[in-house]
């Protein structure tokens, strides 16, 4: 970890006293101009100078104003191989500075680009469907091939698949960033431990929460404004009509970010959120990565040639359809007849395979690889 300046140390100290309560941090700085002044007053136990924020806070900040506290926090960073980005740092993400009340300080593990070419958030349900998972994986990879950095929340489902798609692009320098709703050293959910370390190795994990902060439910709406704040656009893949995903989308709209949504079947609860946002004009419908890239004057990266489709991660129905098409192009009716599957299941499978780029539709509802 880089050596911290005295100003860095004092921002780290004050953030440790305040936590993620950004408004309080802002009020203190607007009152006393510099953190050095706040520390000096607290060290001299000028309790009266802090009583406007409550007696308990005044006592706490004065009790914490000592070099031992600062050294403990610095040692924690070194032990956990973490770094900090105060709001005034030139390395602090430029887009995040634009939002109302950005985090006073970010804890970071890995490498974070302050000004990535195209940061795009891909978010959605934890209880995702195979259709949504295939789309998230595909979008994560295709956008990253064209220079995007994928922002997500490390949650199960759509978030995780989007990050995995980004990491699959081996040439990408800053493929993905995960924003946590807990302390930077806490892996939540624990099932994503491997993904957490892969992101740190090639991208970054960030949090505004103090070390040791547990993943309480109330943390995630706070976290969500950072996901959208780091991004130029937010893609909703699957979401209920009222959910954490739609909260992030609303943050994005408030922050003047672009919002995109993947349409889904009108009977699926998992598509209720994106379909409703499209209907209300709050999100632009997208059908492939190129639809997003065109919004920013970019084109899709070159497709990777493959002699045979990769069936890894496909559902049983998807595998059966791909195997049928390996022998030649077929219509939807032929696939239904050959596979003895309901037409609704075949149609859903064909849609997800098209979105993943594994198959293509030809005139006359004929499909091929």
Beta strand 105-110 with 83-86: parallel, antiparallel or unpaired? antiparallel
- CB proximity list for 296: less than 8 A, separation 6 or greater: 118, 232, 233
Could you give the C-alpha distances from 273 to 223, 240, 307, in angstroms and in order? 20, 5, 38
pLDDT score at 303:
46
Dihedral sign (CA 174, 153, 123, 246) = negative
In terms of Cα–Cα distance, which of 133, 184, 205 is closest to 162? Answer: 133
- 223 CA to centre of own chain: 10
Which pairs from 294-298 meet CB under 8 Å and 24+ separation? 295/233, 295/258, 296/118, 296/232, 296/233, 298/118, 298/146, 298/147
Tokens of residue 320, six digits: 């059966």
pLDDT score at 310:
62
pLDDT score at 306:
47
Burial of 302 from C-beta contacts in 10 A (0-12 / 13-18 / 19+): exposed
Alpha helices in the chain (DSSP H): 6-18, 22-32, 35-43, 55-64, 67-79, 94-97, 130-145, 158-167, 193-202, 219-229, 244-254, 272-279, 289-295, 316-326, 332-339, 343-355
> 234, 248 in Cβ contact below 8 A?
yes
Tokens of residue 271, six digits: 């598509």
Q: What are phi and psi of 119, to 5 degrees?
A: -80, 120
- Give the predicted TM-score (pTM) of the model: 0.80
pLDDT score at 317:
85
Q: What are phi and psi of 90, to 5 degrees?
A: -70, -15
> 122, 228 in Cβ contact below 8 A?
no
First vs last Cα of the chain: how many Å apart? 49
> 252, 234 in Cβ contact below 8 A?
yes
Q: What is the side-by-side strand order in the sheet with 360-362?
A: 330-331, 366-368, 360-362
> 262, 288 in Cβ contact below 8 A?
no
> 177, 204 in Cβ contact below 8 A?
yes
pLDDT by position in tens, the chain (length 369): 458 999 999 999 999 999 889 999 999 999 998 999 999 999 999 999 999 999 999 999 999 999 999 999 999 999 999 999 999 999 999 999 999 999 999 999 999 999 999 999 999 988 888 888 999 999 999 999 999 999 999 999 999 999 999 999 999 989 999 999 999 999 999 999 999 999 999 999 999 999 999 999 999 999 999 999 999 999 999 888 777 787 888 889 999 999 999 998 888 888 888 888 899 899 999 988 999 999 998 876 554 444 456 666 788 888 888 888 887 788 888 888 888 888 888 888 888 887 777 887 776 677 887
Spell out the domains of the chain, with CATH numbers in brackets.
1-79 (no CATH), 118-295 (3.40.50.450), 316-368 (1.10.10.10)
In terms of Cα–Cα distance, which of 275, 276, 273 is closest to 263? Answer: 275
Q: State how far the Cα of 186 lies from the Cα of 210, in Å rounded to an integer.
A: 11
Q: State how far the Cα of 155 lies from the Cα of 179, in Å rounded to an integer.
A: 10
pLDDT score at 236:
94
Burial of 107 from C-beta contacts in 10 A (0-12 / 13-18 / 19+): buried
């Amino acid at each position: 970890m880089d050596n911290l300046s005295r100003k860095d140390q004092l921002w780290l100290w004050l953030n440790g006293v305040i936590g993620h309560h950004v408004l309080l941090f802002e009020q203190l700085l607007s009152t006393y101009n510099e953190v050095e002044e706040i520390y000096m007053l607290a060290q001299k136990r000028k309790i009266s100078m802090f009583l406007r924020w409550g007696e308990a806070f005044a006592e706490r900040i004065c009790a914490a104003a000592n070099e031992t506290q600062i050294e403990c926090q610095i040692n924690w960073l070194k032990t956990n191989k973490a770094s900090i980005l105060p709001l005034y740092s030139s390395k602090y993400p430029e887009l995040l500075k634009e939002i109302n009340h950005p985090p006073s300080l970010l804890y970071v593990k890995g490498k974070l680009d302050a000004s990535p070419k195209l940061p795009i958030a891909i978010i959605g349900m934890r209880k995702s469907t195979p259709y949504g998972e295939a789309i998230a994986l595909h979008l994560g990879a295709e956008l990253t091939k064209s220079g995007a950095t994928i922002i997500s929340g490390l949650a199960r489902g759509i978030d995780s698949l989007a990050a995995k798609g980004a990491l699959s692009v081996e040439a990408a320098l800053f493929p993905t960033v995960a924003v946590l709703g807990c302390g930077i050293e806490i892996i939540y959910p624990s099932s994503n431990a491997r993904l957490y370390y892969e992101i740190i190795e090639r991208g970054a994990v960030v949090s505004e929460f103090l070390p040791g902060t547990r993943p309480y439910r109330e943390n995630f709406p706070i976290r969500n404004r950072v996901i959208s704040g780091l991004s130029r656009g937010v893609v909703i893949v699957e979401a209920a009509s009222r959910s954490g995903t739609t909260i992030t989308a609303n943050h994005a709209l408030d922050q003047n970010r672009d919002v995109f949504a993947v349409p889904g079947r009108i009977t699926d609860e998992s598509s209720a959120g994106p379909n409703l946002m499209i209907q209300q004009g709050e999100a632009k419908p997208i059908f492939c990565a190129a639809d997003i890239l065109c919004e920013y004057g970019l084109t899709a990266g070159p497709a990777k040639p493959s002699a045979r489709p990769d069936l890894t991660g496909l559902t049983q129905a998807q595998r059966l359809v791909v195997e049928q098409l390996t022998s030649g192009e077929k219509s939807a009716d032929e696939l239904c007849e050959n596979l003895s599957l309901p037409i609704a299941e075949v149609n859903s499978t064909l849609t997800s395979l098209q979105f993943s780029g594994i198959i293509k539709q030809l005139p006359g509802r004929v499909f091929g690889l």
